[in-house]
Amino acid sequence: MKYWILGMFGFAVATWVSTMFVTAPYGRHERKGWGPKLPSRLGWVLMESPAVIAFAAFYATGTHPLDVGSLALVAVWMAHYLQRTFVFPFLLRETGREIPVSIVALALVFNTYNAFINARWIASVGHYGVAWLYDPRFIVGVAIFVAGYAINRWSDRVLINLRAPGETGYKIPRGGLYEKITCPNYFGEFVEWCGWSLASWSPAGIAFALYTFANLAPRARSHHAWYREKFADYPAKRKAIIPWLF
Ligand code: NDP
């Protein structure tokens, strides 16, 4: 397991370096030259599904999957991934967007790998009995996760509601954390997985939180630069992903 987790840290560094130079070509950054494409909704379901299905399989075949603390951690994980895989794609406005198969394939590999290290950690390596439910690391970690989840869901909803049915363009999002940063949805996602790493007190969780930042911070920087280029009145004080800092 040690080497698998080290691999995820390596994956995070590689992702950070590559996405600082090449922005993943989906959404507003979609462009030609990335091979065949799939409808965006289908792409989301396919690429996120290992985080539900592979995670459940790796977890169920672990050595102590019936521990109460482990089951509580599964509930936390699934609260995010059931929504992301089977609800979020259907909330997106239908705009005819497509996503390259290569991006879907990369995300599928990543999600399977990540499901493996996190599920195996909580079902086989770590020990989370009933007492874990009263441990401050679990309680504070879950509270941080819930805060990140609320920020992520709220921010995604604001973006989706910017378009009326049939619209395809972009508008400046406003209100709440949008007054401080361009991508509160990415910030919320990062906060969630920081909470997860504390609640599971695991290097697998830390590796995932770090990967999330390595993947989303450069993308937030690209979104931020894109807004500033497209909208002359884009609020000058907003940062990209971390309020007041970055
Ligand atoms: P975006 O913020 O780029 O887009 C989300 C949706 O909102 C898209 O449908 C997009 O349309 C639409 N949208 C965005 N901005 C505007 C705007 N200004 N005006 C109108 N519509 C807008 O997010 P992503 O698609 O990159 O990510 C979606 C979710 O997935 C987020 O919650 C993110 O945290 C999560 N995610 C997590 C990752 C991880 O590493 N854990 C990796 C990637 C995403 P369009 O597609 O046309 O741009």
Q: What is the pLDDT of residue 168?
A: 93
Contact 68, 127 (CB under 8 A): no
Q: How many CA atoms lie within 13 A of 205 on its CB side?
A: 25
Q: State in Å: Cα 156 to ligand 1 middle.
A: 7
Q: Ligand 1: which residue has its CA nearest to atom 32? A: 185
- Each residue's pLDDT expressed in tens, for the chain with a length of 246 residues: 999 999 999 999 999 999 999 999 999 999 999 999 999 999 999 999 999 999 999 999 999 999 999 999 999 999 999 999 999 999 999 899 999 999 999 999 999 999 999 999 999 999 999 999 999 999 999 999 999 999 999 999 999 999 999 899 999 999 999 999 999 999 999 999 999 999 999 999 999 999 999 999 999 999 999 999 999 999 999 999 999 999
Q: What is the pLDDT of residue 222?
A: 98
Q: Please name every residue paired with 39 in a beta bridge, in sequence order, or none if there are none.
A: 98
Return all residues near 213 (Cβ < 8 A) that are at least 6 apart: 12, 190
Choice from 28, 151, 221 to test ligand 1 binding pocket (greatest atom count within 8 A of CB): 28
**Is the torsion defined by CA of 211, 9, 221, 193 positive or negative?**
positive
Q: State in Å: Cα 197 to ligand 1 middle.
A: 24
Ligand 1, closest atom to CA 107?
42
Q: State in Å: Cα 216 to ligand 1 middle.
A: 11
pTM of the entire predicted model: 0.97
Choice from 118, 171, 174, 185 to test ligand 1 binding pocket (greatest atom count within 8 A of CB): 185
User: DSSP 3-state assignment of 65?
Assistant: coil
Q: State in Å: Cα 231 to ligand 1 middle.
A: 18
Q: What is the pLDDT of residue 51?
A: 98
